[in-house]
Structure 1
Amino acid sequence: MIFAPVLIPPVQQGSARDSRGTRLLAHRFGGVLLFGLVFAGIALATRVALLVKAAPEVTWDASLLAAFAWGALFDVAAAGLVAAPMMVLLAVLPARWFERRWARGLAWVAGFAAVYLLLFTAVAEWTFWDEFGVRFNFIAVDYLVYTTEVIGNIRESYNLPVLLGAVAAGTVLVLGLAARSGGPQAWLGAAPVGAGRRWGLAAAGLAVVITLGAALQEDRLPAFRNNYNRELAKNGVWSLFAAFRNNVLDYEQFYRTRPERVAFDRLRRELVEDGSILLSPDESDTLRYVRNPGPAQRPNVIQITVESLSADFLGIFNPASALTPELDALAARSLVFENFYATGTRTDRGMEALTLSLPPTPGRSMVKRPRNEDMFTLGSVFRSQGYDTAFIYGGFGYFDNMNHYFGQNGYRVIDRNSVAPADVTFANVWGACDGDLFRWTLREADTSAASGRPFHHFVMTTSNHRPYTYPAGKIDLPSKVSGRAGAVKYTDQAIGEFLREAATKPWYKDTVFVIVADHCASSAGKTELPVENYHIPLIIFAPGGQIAPGRIKTLTSQMDYAPTLLGLLNWSYPSRFFGHDVRKIDPADAHALIGNYQKLGHLERGELIVLGPQHDAKTYRYDSHGGAQVPTAPSAYAEDEAISYYQSASILYRRGQYRSVKPDEQLRLAARLVPAARVAVQSPLSNP
């Protein structure tokens, strides 16, 4: 019987079951101590389990002992914060509350619920670590917001009845061991305490918890050489609350800065490395005119952004992989960027960089921030030239605020809510299968072409996401049980099928197809920013010959995608993009900006600058072959460049200056560059 301990009489002083331990618990607030012991025990067991799972990646030295010591501190602090409401409740309840039999029974019910929640959290931490290689962070906070998708994902990925049953069994075991110790009975049988003393003790306990919480911050953890060791030092519950609090970080408050004039002066010198002309050279702005020779091309552009497609999955980057025969064959006829990097580790980060050409802002991406309407996006540039622009997504676009962001930045939105039920032949919680998504894309392309307008479609896949399910019979790997390997191979098959169907369309040779990833499949690594886990593919295929096949080895990031694509089409236009057309700069000056929700990185010439939210900056020499990062002496020049990009992006967003440039304004800006007597500017795409 789960609640049989209710029937056990309170422990009497001097009885056979009395011990020093139970005497410590025989107090009105003994329940807080009891909860803390259970909390710390489960937290320690979780840390040990994660250590076993990450054993090949962990550094087995003294830093591991330090990680467990720090972990114990965070466990105690987290236990105190979680127990704070219990302290207040025990102060409020009447002095003889637990003398009532039903009140003791209610306490055991509450205990069961508390232990069950702690064990369920431990299981959730295990699955989160399995997916991301870290303790709870801002991703987990987002998951709490989008409960429909997350709960559905859990149901489709795991045997939920077995999992919940195992957690219940573990809860009974923990309560049974507690009952055998006599601790709960000692607490429930404690002598009454007057109201004044109850409130005094509760106030003292809360003061200790608040003080400890203020003094102990994750940012004060030592800089472990191995990031896995550092993650083990954290407490999952504490990390979840910390991520919730720091979901939006103001750059200028938390990071190193330079005087605004100095930051923008340095940024402007960087921006004109591609030969562009500053239009506001004395202002805090990135506005400039990008000029490209030759006649502007106006093909359709279908951009397929593939969920979690690491470069390592493709045979062209990893000969041992056989998961992408379609993309490998396509690469031979395409322009391939061999050194292309994601700016972040989330889908919304990829969308931010691919559309806005912005550095990865700390905290939330621009896709989910307020005041993200009418920004300067790739879609706004296409739309200003009469293109039909659309965001096509297989899932429900309210997730991650995608519908609002794209809908307010020049794109029509087509998601699962926009199509008829018959248009979905297979789906999981994240969305329709990629085959369905590409069928919708063909239909949208047909409609746009029939209207006589060129089109740009941003297509976002979902199949390469846990639970990794897809239609049966499409590939030689079974759905779900094959895991990510099967999902990658299915997406590859769906892309190949889509391109073969597109080849039958009259608009095919007038279209440029882009295959790019939003981010890598895994972001975990031994370093703060494991650069190798940001390497993704970018393949541009032009069956009509608008863009010649080849290889570009220059270091490139998603931030450079939009200006490079427009440069390949010979467009001249006013720009606010932070990225470059990488073909027009010295490869030695090429760089990549990468980050997670707190750490911001800048990689150039093998030197990696990592900016942190405690106004810190670290410099490493990066080995692109082995991935090693060796601490080195600070470089003021490289640090200034990194700061100028991130700080300027923050300023422009805060002031609402990163806005789209309307067609009439484009004409005026273009005309400013050319004497009217010599050139009549007819279009922003003309080439003065």
Structure 2
Amino acid sequence: MIKAIKSGMTSYLPIILFVTSSLVVLSLFRLGYLFLFHDRVLHATTLTTYFLLGLRADIIQVGYFTLIPLLLFPFFNNSRLHRRWFQLSLIWLAFCFIVIVFLEVATPAFLMQYDTRPNRLFFEYLLYPKEVLSTLWEGFRGWLIFGVISVGLTLYGLTKAINKVYHQCKQRKPHHVSAWILWPFIVIVTVLGIRSTLAHRPANPAFFAVTSDAMVNSLLINSSYSVAYAAYNLKHEAKANSVYGDLSDSEVIQIVTAEPHLSDATFPSKQYPTVHYQQASVTRDKPLNIVIILEESLGATFVESLGGIAATPNLEKLKNNGWWFEQLYATGIRSVRGIEAVVAGFPPSRARSTVKLSNSQRYFFTIADALKRQGYHTEFIYGGESHFDNMAAFFSGNGFEQIIDQDDFENPLFVGSWGVSDQDLFQKLHNRLVANKDSQQPTFTLAFSSSNHEPFEFPVGDVTLLEQPQNTVNNAVKYADHALGEFFNQAMASEYWQNTLFLVVADHDTRVYGDELIPLSKFHIPGLILGADISPRKVTSIASQIDLAPTLLSIAGVSTFVPTLGQDLSRTDIAPANRAFMQFGDNFGWFEDDHLTVLTLDKGHQEFSYDATSKTLTPSMNRLNEKALQRIRAHAMLPSVLYENRMYYVPPELH
């Protein structure tokens, strides 16, 4: 019997070799991550949990890879075709092994940048090879070279091994009967390994979220599993946030439109249930021009008065000339999430940003669309290539009449991996505002900076560096602040200053990381509204990026219909909402009155108290009641409801 089993097992040699080598390699990589992040791993979990759960996740992914040749085996288990199956299986499993090695080799650099294993961002960035390769070469050159060599050596070794194993196969007589007997047992074991549980639902990444540190949770799985699951989830984009609760669409809409800051709003459209009329808090004979300056990765980390390092002296001076937001929070950790929140006032979700999703490329609200209907000329200025992250398509389909990008800059001062420098960008912005100063048509401009982006390339000029070498994030922020200061020195001395409203705000902080489910302090960003007749003011209440668009419209003197549920912070007759929300991977955070509630997958939640001085979260003793939790769940589920049903738009009849 044992002899027959051994004889039958030789037919499955490609699978045996692949499973064994893959599990060993993945375990060795996980051991390497333990050395890199031992403090966080040992603080969050035990070594037993770390390695055993890791092995369990590895078995899942390895099982998926082996399932294809296993299911094909019965069609080839005969004297004439067995060697063909053997050959094809070797080639397929060798390819899978290369994928495993490639993704694991790429993981450390990705972890350093995003504090998680490769996920959807990994293959989204593959759409932009020029920017990605330039960033890797300038910022991670050593690791890139090591990765290429490692994958090359792996490919070479596999080629030699495949030839050797296949040659042995040709010399060996296959045992078809024994292989037939073993086949159902091997398939059953493989399927059980993929499910990894006998519970009603198979294991998924949430199954391995056993610590409060999201990065450590990601280490428990492997990178090929992480990327594959992210790709699989793309088909669930529309309902990405339904995981947070059991509310119906109508219940979600009813709860969110009952927010206190919307108490006097009416909602006239059943098809677009969040659309309401916003009356401007300031009456003007002619509405102000509006300029939004979206600063790349300029988080509170770099602003001294917000608890960061002293890298933004010009912004610190400018804050005394306008409305300074002391507790403003980003909705996410990527530029498209910041664009979505600031320009469209749209809340965050687990799905890709609506800047990229197909159903939001037209008939989707943006502040540009609202202002265009009010007679504004609307434009977007970017120093890089506007096709990046699908910005050009999203903007042109939703209210932006003109798009200016890298190709439109003549003789720029400096060109880096991500386009022209911030000084070039702001000079272009200044020139555009000067050219339009005598026009009777008001203008709206979105200007998006890029110098503060990995690999942090910028002209040194007269900027005093904070450290050596030059191309570091701290120096890039110092340069970005310098360019911003130069621009406002010009703007304040220009004729257009008196009729132009400016918003300076970060899209997100750089390198959002931490050992919490949501590293709240890394979502803290600066925000400043200034220009025209704006008097200095400190906005001390908690605010979200989605509150900025309605506030700008109101101060500029624009009364119009909007679907956004952000608060007009210029109103003094309504108490501030004093809340912010954010998305970090699969976790949705709701921050209100120093209390952070984190919604996790499968409708779970955790609650924390936040100490702004130490920037630490501790489990909260004050638990929210069910009504308060339902309110948070409704806001978390709202993006999916609005996007899936194409509700986030102001119909022409309400213009």
Q: Describe how 1:554-633 pairs up with structure 2 within 5 A.
A: 554-584=541-571, 589-625=577-613, 626-630=615-619, 633=623
Deviation, 1:240, is: 0.6
Paired position in structure 2 for 1:524: 513
Measured against aligned partners, the alpha-carbon deviations of 1:363-399 in whole angstroms (never above 9, x if no partner) come to: 1111111221122221122222211111112222222
After the TM superposition, which of the residue ranges 281-290 and 560-569 deviates more from structure 2? 281-290
Note if contact 1:74-1:234 (Cα within 8 Å) is conserved in structure 2. yes
Shift in Å, 1:312? 1.5
Instruction: Indicate the RMSD between aligned Cα atoms, in angstroms.
Output: 3.6
The letter for the 1-side match of 2:216 is N
Q: Which residue of 2 aligns with 1:302?
A: 291
1:654 and 2:644 aligned: yes
1:434 & 1:503 partners in 2: Cα distance?
18
Alignment check: 8 A CA contact 2:567 2:577 kept: no
Higher alpha-carbon deviation: 273-282 or 304-313: 273-282
Is the 1:392–1:457 Cα contact (8 Å) retained in structure 2?
A: yes
Work out which of the residue numbers 244, 253, 256 in structure 1 matches 2:231: 244
- SS of residue paired to 1:457: strand
What are the within-5 Å matches in structure 2 for residues 183-262 of structure 1?
188=169, 191-193=172-174, 205=186, 208-214=189-195, 215-247=202-234, 248=237, 250-251=239-240, 253-262=242-251
Which structure 2 segments of 5+ residues have no match? 196-201
Using the size of structure 1 for normalisation, the TM-score is 0.82
2:373 alignment partner in structure 1: 384
Which residue pairs with 2:626 in the alignment?
636
Pair 1:524–1:62, CA change in 2 (3 A): closer
Q: CA deviation at 1:83?
A: 3.8
C-alpha separation between the residues in 2 aligned to 1:237 and 1:216? 15
Map of 1:156 onto structure 2 = 138
What is the correspondence of 1:84-483 to structure 2 with a 5 Å cutoff?
A: 84-85=67-68, 87=70, 92=76, 117-159=99-141, 162-164=145-147, 166-167=149-150, 171=154, 188=169, 191-193=172-174, 205=186, 208-214=189-195, 215-247=202-234, 248=237, 250-251=239-240, 253-270=242-259, 272-273=260-261, 276-280=264-268, 285-296=273-284, 298-318=287-307, 321-372=309-360, 373-416=362-405, 418-419=407-408, 422-477=410-465, 481-483=470-472
Aligned length: 634
Retained in 1: the 8 A contact 2:383–2:405? yes
- Counterpart of 2:49 in structure 1 is 66
In structure 2, what is the Cα distance between the partners aligned to 1:152 and 1:206?
Answer: 45
Contact 2:100/2:223, CA 8 A, preserved across alignment: no
2: distance between equivalents of 1:250 and 1:300? 37
Distance 2:405 2:381 in 1: 9
Offset of 1:139 from its aligned partner? 1.2
**Residues 392-421 of structure 1 deviation map (CA, whole Å, 9 limit, x = unaligned):** 12222222211111111111342436515x
Deviation at 1:620, TM superposition (A): 3.2
Aligned to 2:17: 34
Instruction: State the alpha-carbon separation in 1 of the partners of residues 272 and 44 from structure 2.
Output: 49
Corresponding position of 1:3: none
Decide whether the 8 Å contact of 1:344 with 1:519 is kept in 2: yes
Partner of 1:5: none
CA distance in 1, matches of 2:577, 2:318: 30
**2:227 corresponds to which letter in structure 1?**
L
Residue 30 of structure 1 contacts residue 187 of structure 1 at CA under 8 Å; is this kept in 2?
Answer: no
Measured after TM superposition, the shift of residue 515 of structure 1 is: 1.1
**Cα offsets for 1:138-184 (capped at 9, x unmatched):** 211312333343233223333377335641576389779989xx995
Partner of 1:13: none
The code of the aligned residue for 1:73 comes to R
Q: Closer, same or farther in 2 for the Cα pair 1:455/1:224, shift >3 Å?
A: same
Shift of 1:481: 4.8
The alignment-based identity, stated in percent, is 24
Would the alpha carbon gap of residues 660 and 550 (structure 1) be closer, same or farther in structure 2, given more than 3 Å must change? same
Which letter does structure 2 place at the counterpart of 1:577? T
How far is 1:550 from its partner?
Answer: 2.0
CA contact (8 A) 1:223 1:230 kept: yes
Deviates more, 1:446-455 or 1:192-201: 192-201
Shift of 1:460: 1.1
- Residue 128 of structure 1, CA deviation: 0.3
Residue 607 of structure 2 aligns with an amino acid whose one-letter code is: T
Report the Cα distance in structure 2 between the residues aligned to 1:489 and 1:513, rounded to whole angstroms: 21
Give, in angstroms, the shift of residue 646 of structure 1: 3.3
Secondary structure of 1:379's counterpart equals helix
Asked whether the equivalents of residues 285 and 652 of structure 1 are also in contact (C-alpha less than 8 Å), the reply is no
Question: Are 1:26 and 1:190, in contact at CA under 8 Å, matched by a contact in 2?
Answer: no
TM-superposed CA distance for 1:252, in Å, is 6.6
- The change in CA–CA distance for 1:453 and 1:200 in structure 2 (over 3 A counts) is farther
Give the Cα–Cα distance (whole angstroms) in 1 for the partners of residues 315 and 642 of structure 2.
38
- Structure 1, unaligned stretches of length 5 or more? 1-19, 667-688
The answer to whether the Cα contact below 8 Å between 1:256 and 1:611 also exists between their aligned partners in 2 is: no
Does the C-alpha gap of structure 1 residues 275 and 184 become closer, same or farther in structure 2, counting only changes over 3 Å? same
CA distance in 2: counterparts of 1:473 and 1:95, whole angstroms: 74
Equivalent residue number for residue 43 of structure 1: 26
Q: Tell me, yes or no, if the aligned pair for 1:395 and 1:415 is still in contact at 8 Å.
A: no
**How far apart are residue 188 of structure 1 and its match?**
4.7
Which of 516, 527, 533 aligns to 2:522? It is 533
Query: What does the per-residue CA deviation read over 1:270-311, in whole Å, with 9 as the maximum and x for residues that have no partner?
Result: 0x5255421339887122222344423622222111111111
Decide which structure has the larger Cα Rg and report it: 1
Q: For each residue in 1:494-546, what CA deviation from the matched residue of structure 2 results, as whole angstroms up to 9, or x when unmatched?
A: 2122223334543133222221011111222212222111101101221x3x2
Q: Which residue of 1 aligns with 2:199?
A: none
Whole-angstrom distance in 1 between the partners of 2:277 and 2:471: 49
AA paired with 1:557? Answer: S
SS in structure 2 at match of 1:462: coil
Alpha-carbon distance in structure 2 between the residues aligned to 1:565 and 1:63 = 50
Change (3 A) 1:249 1:73: farther
What secondary structure is seen at the aligned counterpart in 2 of 1:285? Answer: coil
Change (3 A) 1:197 1:565: farther
Give runs of aligned pairs for residues 464-503 of structure 1, distance below 5 A: 464-477=452-465, 481-503=470-492
- Tell me how far 1:258 sits from its aligned partner: 2.2
Distance 1:479-1:512 versus aligned 2 partners, 3 A rule: farther
CA distance in 2, matches of 1:33, 1:235: 20
Q: Within 2, Cα distance between the matches of 1:638 and 1:599?
A: 18
What's the CA shift for 1:190? 7.0
1:95 Cα offset (Å): 5.6
Displacement after TM superposition at 1:211 (Å): 4.5
CA distance in 1, matches of 2:283, 2:427: 33
3-state SS, counterpart of residue 57 of structure 1: helix
What TM-score results when the alignment is normalised by the length of structure 2? 0.86
SS at match of 2:591: strand
Range 372-381 or range 162-171, more displaced: 162-171
Q: Is the 8 A contact 1:387 1:454 kept in 2?
A: yes
Say which SS state the counterpart of residue 11 (structure 2) adopts. Answer: coil
- CA drift of 1:108 comes to 9.4
What CA distance in whole angstroms lies between the structure 2 residues aligned with 1:350 and 1:201? 55
